Structure 1
Amino acid sequence: MVYISLREFTTWLDVTVFELWIHFASILVSSVLLFLKLHNIMTISYQLVAAPIFIGIGFVAYFIFIIYMRSCVEYKDYRGPS
């Protein structure tokens, strides 16, 4: 069986290791919440089960927005004052 390396994975998907960890953590928390809901240990809605995934996506989108704004500012500084 052939496994891909972390470098190949991040290159193909164009994501950073930090973003992968955020997604991994959010999927892990959602999986635990789903387990607790399905075994009637907690009575929560499916919206709350899926909430960590959406929170993780929001964090990644926020960090991408910060990187985009920094690149815009650096490009403006590189071009010089207009």
Structure 2
Amino acid sequence: MPAALLLDETICAIAAAGDLPINDCSISSAKFYSPVAPGELLNLRVVVADAMPMTFEVHAGARLIASGDFSGHVWERL
């Protein structure tokens, strides 16, 4: 899976979880650790905090795929 697609899907999932318009979320930094193979199930973990930015992690099983920081109005609704 290309990194740009992974980030796009991450933003969509964060926006959907917070019932937000997609333009209310933005990723300010991201780091990629491992490629995603076709058919792999991905899990998104979001750490919601009072301070900005908040963090996310994408996992395939126990393997960390990507992590980063995001900002937006998510914390008000999650």
Higher Cα Rg: structure 1 or 2?
A: 1
* Larger RCO (alpha carbons 8 Å, 6+ apart): 2
Structure with the bigger percentage of helix: 1
The two structures share one fold, judged by TM-score above 0.5: no
Q: TM-score, normalised by structure 1?
A: 0.28
